[in-house]
Chain A
Amino acid sequence: MSWMVWTMPTAIFFSSIAAMLAGMTIWEILSPTIERKGFLPIATTRGDRLFIGLLSAAFIHLGVIGFTSLSIWIALAVSAVWLLVLMRWG
Chain B
Amino acid sequence: MNNKVPNNRAWLLVLPMLVLVAFSAVIPLMTVVNYSVQDVLGPNASFFTGTEWFRTMLNDEALQSAFLRQISFSLIILAIQIPLGIGIALIMPKRGWQASAVLILITLPLLIPWNVVGSIWQIFTRGDIGLMGWGLRQLGVDYNITGNASDAWVTIVLMDVWHWTPLVAMLCYSGLRSIPEAYYQAARIDRASKWAVFRYIQLPKLTNVLVIAVLLRFMHSFMIYAEPFVLTGGGPGSSTTFLSQSLATMAIGQQDLGPSAAFSLIYFLVILLVSWVFYTTIMNMQKDKPPHGGA
Contact = CB atoms under 8 A, between A and B. Distances in A.
B44 to A, nearest CB: 7
Interface in A1-41: 2-7, 9-10, 13-14
B31 interface: yes
A7 B48 contact: yes
Interface in B20-47: 27, 30-31, 33-35, 37-38, 40, 43-44, 46
Interface residues of B, number: 25
Contacts of B58: 62, 65-67
Contacts of B273: 55, 59
Contacts of B35: 5
Interface string A54-66: 0100110010011
A62 B34 contact: no
A72 interface: yes
B276 interface: yes
B285 to A, nearest CB: 12
Given A4-B30, A59-B273, A62-B269, A10 B51 contact: no
Contact of A4 (B31, B51, B54): B31
Nearest to A3: B43
B138 interface: no
Given A55-B272, A62-B266, A4 B43 contact: no
